[in-house]
Amino acid sequence: SRVWQLVRRPKGKPTVEDFSCLEEELPPCADGDVVVEAEYLSVDPYMRYMARQIPLNSTMYGSQVARVIESKNPQWPVGSCMVVYSGWRTHTHIPSDKLQPDDKWMWPLPDMGTLPISLCVGLVGMPGNTAYFGFLELCQPKEGNTVLVNGAAGAVGSAVVQIAKIKGCKVIAFAGSDEKVAWVKELGADYAFNYKTTNIGEALSQAAPEKINCFFDNVGGQFTAEALPFMANYGRVAVCGAISTYNDDSKDIYSPGSLNSPFSEATLIWKELKVEGFLVFRWKDRSSEGFKQMIQWIQEGKLKYRETVVQGFDKMPIAFIGLFDGENFGKAVVKP
């Protein structure tokens, strides 16, 4: 197998030199085991957190859609596919005890019909369920509510925009280029802005004079600070991610909060806001419900998607780093 290891802690935005690619011999496929080959590897923003945590010279953490190429397990015949958190590697030996139906880090693909299997690390996978459960459960959108989404052209954000429209909401979206803004409008956003060239406060006072009921936050930091005053009373904020802060190595991410938190306490109190962080794995038991709904909406034409497919396993670090440069429309995946 070819494997990407983390060999240096990134300082600020990761660089290619933080990673190293090497060859690894796989153990033999014993009774009950399988060997899989990566079909599509996922690159995700959370990997920046992993790069702070995993031991140096260990395989980068991550998931992939993989196909069984050698099998001594009748449940997993050659050719069958799974999503597996096996890391940045082309081939993986999976022992029988890791192939249990209740395993958290491996699951069979849902029935995709004619849809591409790459979606199983995208809309019909972890990011799709992040949008589905994170938005519906935490933001509790009601018909006619005003919804704010940032990172709106990304894997999670582009799904939230469309789910909010399906639920009859007014959507205000922010993304990092005019081209992305145009795409987000095609997805149904009522207002979309390029956060790099727009004053967030001015945009929100123009687009949401009635104020914002639901804020699905992928970005955090300065954006959140500037958006919070535009929340309506009893507004709901789903704290999904804070990508604008991930490359800030100036402090330990779990250190006590500072006086410059983006959340103004007075705003939280006087508007009686509900602000909740979450991890998608909270709804692990319901993941197939999310997958089924996303598949249905895609098939009905209610949920559109784009994928940014980077060709070549050797480009894994480049695809990952690209997330912080806004290179991707929709989900970023690598085709080895």
Q: Is 224 helix (H, G, I), strand (E, B) or coil?
A: helix
Containing H/E element for 34?
strand 34-42
User: Is residue 262 within 8 Å of residue 222, measured between CB atoms?
Assistant: yes
Stretch that binds ligand NDP, among 42-50, 67-75, 207-215, 289-297 (CB under 6 A): 42-50
Containing H/E element for 128?
helix 126-133
Tell me the pairing of strands 170-175 and 81-84.
unpaired
Site for ligand NDP in 273-332 (CB under 6 A): 278-280, 323-324, 326, 328, 332
| Number of neighbouring beta carbons within 10 Å of residue 83 | 23
Q: How many residues bind ligand NDP (CB under 6 A)?
A: 29
Q: Does residue 87 belong to the site contacting ligand NDP (CB under 6 A)?
A: no
Q: Does residue 176 belong to the site contacting ligand NDP (CB under 6 A)?
A: yes
Q: Is 121 helix (H, G, I), strand (E, B) or coil?
A: helix
Q: Does residue 45 belong to the site contacting ligand NDP (CB under 6 A)?
A: yes
Q: Does residue 151 belong to the site contacting ligand NDP (CB under 6 A)?
A: yes
Q: Does residue 42 belong to the site contacting ligand NDP (CB under 6 A)?
A: no
Distance (Å, whole) CA 105 – CA 236: 30
Whichever of 170 and 180 has its CB closer to ligand NDP, that residue is 180
Q: Which of 36, 60, 138, 155 binds ligand NDP (CB under 6 A)?
A: 155
Q: Does residue 218 belong to the site contacting ligand NDP (CB under 6 A)?
A: yes
Q: Which of 135, 158, 276, 278 is nearest to 214 (CA)?
A: 135
Stretch that binds ligand NDP, among 31-39, 43-51, 284-292, 296-304 (CB under 6 A): 43-51
Q: Does residue 163 belong to the site contacting ligand NDP (CB under 6 A)?
A: no
Edge-first strand order for the sheet with 2-6 is 19-23, 2-6, 58-59
Nearest approach in angstroms of CB 104 to ligand NDP is 14
Distance (Å, whole) CA 91 – CA 94: 10
Q: Does residue 92 belong to the site contacting ligand NDP (CB under 6 A)?
A: no
Q: Contact positions toward ligand NDP, by CB under 6 A?
A: 44-46, 127, 130, 151, 153-157, 175-177, 180, 218-219, 240-241, 243-244, 278-280, 323-324, 326, 328, 332
